[in-house]
Amino acid sequence: MKLKIVALAGGVGGAKLVHGLAQILPPEDLTVVVNTGDDFEHYSLYICPDLDTVCYTLAGLANPETGWGRVDETWQAIENAVRLGGPEWFNLGDRDLGTHLERTRRLKAGQTLSQITRDFCKSWGIRQTILPMSDHPVRTIVETGEGDLAFQEYFVHRRCEPKVTGFRFEGVETAEAAPGVLEAIDAAEAVIICPSNPWVSIDPILVVGDIRRAIEAKTIVAVSPIIGGQTVKGPAAKMYAELDIQPSARAVAEHYRGMLSGFVLDNMDAELASNINIPTLTTDTLMDSLTKRARLARDVLNFIRRINK
Ligand code: GDP
């Protein structure tokens, strides 16, 4: 199918739809802009969880069971580090470590995250364009009843237990879109907001000022990460509930209010569609197989074609 698309993505949910899109669109027609608000340093290494999830997935290197990390992974390096007294709350696999080592080495030598990502994609045989949202650090801070927590502290170390009261994106005031992001948006016929966590995977991208302004004039379609009031994985539904918003596909549509040209929700939520006052597509949005990733991608692209007519 010929359609120039920019997809905004976080990690696991985003990567699944991106993988589906990659099976249908020519590689030159798909650019993925990935959240870097979750990036952090651990063991003095620079780790980009969402970028790596998207890249490993497209390269066929991802662990199919977890959706993140690498297939055929071993854990000897981290086990050894922990035995020596190192922090144990974030697991780094041996193969994955190679990525962080080389990324950190290049950053220290003065390369930008977008240059490094481009080189890594080439080495992994990824033909689509994968871009970090920004080369400037933007850090998602989760505000909780127990104080402010850096995203990975909240997500991994504290297992999403503290009650969320809000979010902040440190550094966003001065952050600019990474090279290539605005050009890709300008050339795109539509922007797809993947079924990623709206609060901590998509909002960090949307608050980068020049990205927000660039997508304003575009056809934007979002796919709900919430099915039947629940997330497939992760804390998005819990976050809505703690912020006193009933978690639902409708709440996701509300979240992106004023931006969207269309919204995609699951068959299970069909009765919510009539309360969403933009064009909707109701379909099977659970991507629990490779075929279903491609099928949802095709449905979303056909929906965009109808909207763009
Ligand atoms: P993370 O950074 O790895 O948490 O990645 P994302 O934010 O991209 O993904 C988490 C979101 O993806 C959760 O809110 C899930 O509900 C959603 N998700 C995961 N798998 C699926 C799926 O198969 N279909 C849909 N519609 N959403 C999914």
CA separation for the pair 205, 188 (Å, rounded): 17
> Ligand 1 atom closest to Cα of 53?
3
> Ligand 1 atom closest to Cα of 285?
26
182 in a structural domain = yes
Per-residue buried b or exposed e for 186-210, using 16+ beta carbons within 10 Å of the residue's own CB: eebbbbbbbbbbbbbbbbbbbbbee
The pTM score is 0.98
HSE (side-chain half, CA atoms, 13 Å) at 306? 12
178 in a structural domain = yes
With a 6 Å cutoff on the Cβ, whether 50 touches ligand 1 is yes
Helix (H) / strand (E) containing 257: none
Q: How many Å lie between the centroid of ligand 1 and the Cα of residue 288?
A: 11
Q: How many Å lie between the centroid of ligand 1 and the Cα of residue 14?
A: 6
pLDDT, position 110: 98
Please give the residue range of the domain that contains residue 233: 5-38+127-142+171-308
Residue ranges of alpha helices (H) inside the chain are 12-24, 49-59, 76-83, 94-108, 113-124, 151-152, 181-187, 203-206, 209-215, 236-242, 249-255, 290-308
Mutate to test the pocket of ligand 1, among 232, 255, 272, 293 (most ligand atoms within 8 A of CB): 232
Angle of helix 76-83 relative to helix 94-108, nearest 10 degrees, comes to 80
With a 6 Å cutoff on the Cβ, whether 225 touches ligand 1 is yes
What is the gyration radius of the CA atoms in the chain, in angstroms?
19
148 in a structural domain = no
Q: Token pair for residue 290?
A: 């490779």
Mean pLDDT, rounded, of the chain: 97
Q: How many Å lie between the centroid of ligand 1 and the Cα of residue 236?
A: 9
pLDDT at position 297 over 90: yes
Please choose, from the candidates 293, 187, 175, the residue with its C-alpha nearest in 3D space to the C-alpha of residue 232. Answer: 293
With a 6 Å cutoff on the Cβ, whether 11 touches ligand 1 is yes
Domain tally, the chain = 1
Q: How many Å lie between the centroid of ligand 1 and the Cα of residue 196?
A: 5
Nearest CA to ligand 1 atom 18: 13
Average pLDDT over residues 219-225: 98
Q: How many Å lie between the centroid of ligand 1 and the Cα of residue 169?
A: 20
Q: Write the CATH number for 221.
A: 3.40.50.10680
pLDDT at position 274 over 90: yes
The pLDDT tens digits of the residues spanning 176-191 come to: 999 999 999 999 999 9
Task: Give the rounded percent of residues in the chain with a pLDDT score beyond 70.
Answer: 100
Nearest CA to ligand 1 atom 11: 196
224 in a structural domain = yes
Q: Edge-to-edge strand order for the sheet containing 220-223?
A: 129-132, 30-34, 5-9, 190-193, 220-223, 262-266, 280-283
51 in a structural domain = no
81 in a structural domain = no
Please choose, from the candidates 153, 231, 177, the residue with its C-alpha nearest in 3D space to the C-alpha of residue 199. Answer: 231
Average pLDDT over residues 113-133: 98
With a 6 Å cutoff on the Cβ, whether 231 touches ligand 1 is yes
Q: Tell me the pLDDT band of 153, cut-offs 50, 70 and 90.
A: very high
pLDDT, position 213: 97
With a 6 Å cutoff on the Cβ, whether 16 touches ligand 1 is yes
Q: Token pair for residue 214?
A: 């660039």
58 in a structural domain = no
